[in-house]
Amino acid sequence: MPERNNNQAAFSFLNYSINNLSGIGDKFQSGFNRLKIYTVKDVIFSFPYRYEALIPETNNEKTILTGTFINSSIVRTHKGKSIYKAIFKADNGYFSCLWVNFNANYPSSLLHAGSLYYMYGTVIKFENVPAIFHPEIINKQDIGKIRSIYTMPAGFSITVYRKAVKEALNKYLNYINETLPKYILDKYNFPNIKDAVKTLHYPETKENVESIAARKHPAYVRFIYEELFYLQLVMQLKRKTYTKGIGIKYNIDKEYLEEINKIMPFKLTKGQKKALLDIFNDMVKNKQMNRLIQGDVGSGKTIIAFISAAVAVHNGYQAVMLAPTEVLAEQHYNNAEKFFSRLNINVCLLTGSVTKKNKEIMKEKLVNGEIDIIIGTHALIEEDVEFQKLGFIIADEQHRFGVHQRKILIDKGYNPDILLMTATPIPRTLAMTLYGDLDVSVIDEMPPGRIPCITKAYRASQITKAFDFVEEILNDKKKGYFIYPLIDESDKLELKAATQSYEEVKKYFSGKKVGLLHGKMKADEKRQLLHDFKYGDMDILVSTTVVEVGVDVPEATVILIENAERFGLSQLHQLRGRVGRNDIQSYCLLIASDKISEYGEKRIKAMLEFKDGFKLAEADLELRGQGDFFGTKQSGIPDLHFTDIIKDIKIIQKVRNDVTDILEEDADLSLKKNNIIYNRLKEMYKDSTSYFGIG
């Protein structure tokens, strides 16, 4: 492949520190750094978040008042504050300008009796006269111009910032290389990158501002497209690297499947069968499987993973199951032991709590092939954990693990098949963006016999009513969770803490056995508590969200969540999934603050309205925006600055089609017309392009 270098000089100039711009000393440099702006290029690509038109229209949030300065005085408010008041005569009467922060020189030195001034700001009424607090004095020639508004750190000068932007564009814009090929620019009538950058910094016309605000201007759409294009390109290149390498070709033995079927505790649903068929179709190919199983809480993903792992072991390979917490790993192990022991498959558990001696024994058995399946937490990723013949990897709640962590585990085998699972339903639009490198199977139905959980909402002032309701349920030998967002009281947040609430619950339910569980407890304490709650005589478990993922106690039929408005919908749905895991009616009680916000109210309403996790996920995405949907940066997905996953579904689809067409024609991006794409990838991912099969 011919060598294709970026313009090194351009790269050098653009990576100049911002203190190369005039007027940016150490003081201002630290302000820029707080905004994650370090280089000239960062300044150029840090765009305004809104614009304002300097026009004298009263229907604007801000406007211009024009008048001749008459006189000034110091006035005192009824609260004793001093205000500098300047009176101006306009064509239609008088107006005043007011300064709370003033001194002997400011603003008096700027105002001269008989001179005409253009005062810009938000107009209010003060002493029955139009007034502007802390106005900006503008020049006549600025009237009618569009001004860009940037995100500013506290105490930072907008004037300095605007000067830096102007200088960066004047001196260095021409060194910006184009990042999309000409055939894409022509296809969608996108402006080139230099014109697009200039337009977003200086829209110049009111029409442009309105078009950018509506996300319809070609300059803005161009950056949405570009952001998605390179994300999707990397996803599809990664997918190609999976399918390039020779993987394990498994034999799916029908007689063995019959043997598994005999020990199954229940019949699989159609959704489970479809997911299993998808997995088997991957396993029989000599390509590495990379499949994500999406399924709602309690939809039966784990049994699908167990069956798949059993098939891998039957073919002479070892399997590993990675869980994000010890609680979940132990639960998987307990269920796995029951299932796999009937198939003569050896299973073990490796977590941080396992003693050093037992760890060494386990590691030796793994290398010798005496252990078929190992279940555990991050402890499995340690360098000295080796396998004899690793062929199958399962990662549960996969978004909790970084791409790098999964790769370490993959490297312990030879192109092992990878099965990822998540009970966090991902809206279709987000899945298209996040999982371009994976095949996705969805289990969209619940096992038969499950009765939908009834969700009720209460205000904090109705807590006794909610407790009374719980008492009725628990009197029937049932168990219940009480969930709180903090371990100890916080002065900053008016949230109920689990430790304080534990005492309240114990007092109210004096005839019941109550336990307290939280993340700061030792692993042994957690294990004992959960054992007592699941198998013993404990009736109520007061807990923080440590029980959010995977804790399975079929006898638990009620969950009460305090400060429910503080949780995300996805988290609330996960918590609700801790109950209703049998054929008995279950309840989820949401206790919200009496001072709940409109946003909190909407979340509670969504929980009452939707039982389906995928519908809730769509509602969650609409309510809080894409943000960091998982509440984690572990997914390895870059921030999307321009894209709105909900609004840009059509662009997402176009991008996917374009990327597919490009890679079908030019798999390693060696054609001259794709030089720009190749160079951009090299710039974005430096030396790791070989990981995508193009370096």
What domains sit in the chain, N to C, each tagged with a CATH number? 55-142 (2.40.50.140), 178-244+659-695 (no CATH), 259-443 (3.40.50.300), 454-624 (3.40.50.300)
Residue whose structure tokens are 């298209």: 432
Q: pLDDT at position 417, please?
A: 92
Under the banding of pLDDT at 50, 70 and 90, the label for residue 397 is confident
Average pLDDT over residues 358-385: 88
Helix (H, G, I), strand (E, B) or coil at 505: helix
Q: Percentage of residues in the chain with pLDDT exceeding 90?
A: 39
CA-nearest of 472, 470, 455 to 577 is: 455
* C-alpha span between 530 and 241 (Å, rounded): 43
Q: How far apart are the first and last CA of the chain?
A: 9
- Helical spans, DSSP H, in 245-349: 254-263, 270-283, 301-314, 326-341
Under the banding of pLDDT at 50, 70 and 90, the label for residue 58 is low
For residue 352, give Cα distances in angstroms to 208, 329, 390.
Answer: 58, 11, 21
**Strand 50-53 versus strand 146-149 pairing type:** antiparallel
Average pLDDT over residues 457-474: 91
Under the banding of pLDDT at 50, 70 and 90, the label for residue 531 is confident
Q: pLDDT at position 398, please?
A: 58
- The whole-angstrom distance between residue 97's C-alpha and the CA centroid of its chain comes to 45
**Strand 390-396 versus strand 318-322 pairing type:** parallel
Tokens linked to 314: 């039957």
Q: pLDDT at position 345, please?
A: 95
Tokens linked to 156: 């930072």
Q: pLDDT at position 243, please?
A: 62
pLDDT surpassing 70 at residue 258:
yes
Indicate left, alpha or beta for 231 from its phi (over 0: left) and psi (-120 to 50: alpha).
alpha
Rounded to two decimals, the pTM is 0.66
Question: Which of the given ranges, 46-55, 341-350, 435-444, 523-532, has the highest pLDDT on average?
Answer: 341-350
Contacts of 136-139 spanning 24+ positions with Cβ under 8 A? 137/110, 138/54, 138/64
DSSP annotation of 46: -
* C-alpha span between 680 and 230 (Å, rounded): 9
pLDDT surpassing 80 at residue 447:
no
Instruction: Please work out, in degrees rounded to the nearest 5, the angle formed at the alpha carbon of residue 345 by the alpha carbons of 334 and 245.
Output: 105
* C-alpha span between 219 and 192 (Å, rounded): 8
* C-alpha span between 194 and 169 (Å, rounded): 9
Worst-scoring range by mean pLDDT, 15-19, 244-248, 391-395?
244-248
Q: pLDDT at position 432, please?
A: 64
Under the banding of pLDDT at 50, 70 and 90, the label for residue 4 is very low
57 vs 354, which has greater pLDDT? Answer: 354
Amino acid at 376: G
Tokens linked to 420: 């990822």
Tokens linked to 596: 């709940």
For residue 96, give Cα distances in angstroms to 66, 72, 285, 322.
Answer: 11, 9, 79, 68
Under the banding of pLDDT at 50, 70 and 90, the label for residue 693 is low
Helix (H, G, I), strand (E, B) or coil at 368: helix
- Give pLDDT tens digits for 67-111: 999 999 999 888 888 999 999 999 999 999 999 989 988 999 999
Q: pLDDT at position 355, please?
A: 85
- Give pLDDT tens digits for 475-522: 777 889 998 876 555 544 445 566 788 888 999 998 899 988 877 777
Q: pLDDT at position 430, please?
A: 67
Residue 484 near residue 497 (C-beta atoms within 8 A): yes
* C-alpha span between 243 and 543 (Å, rounded): 44
Helix (H, G, I), strand (E, B) or coil at 612: coil
Question: Which of the given ranges, 113-127, 375-389, 512-526, has the highest pLDDT on average?
Answer: 113-127
pLDDT surpassing 70 at residue 634:
no
- Give pLDDT tens digits for 261-270: 999 888 898 9
Average pLDDT of the chain to the nearest whole number: 84
- Give pLDDT tens digits for 374-384: 999 888 887 68
500 vs 398, which has greater pLDDT? Answer: 500
34 vs 587, which has greater pLDDT? Answer: 587
Worst-scoring range by mean pLDDT, 114-118, 209-213, 653-657, 682-686?
682-686
Average pLDDT over residues 157-173: 88
133 DSSP β-pair partners: 98
* C-alpha span between 381 and 405 (Å, rounded): 7
Cis peptide bond N-terminal to 107, omega within 30: yes
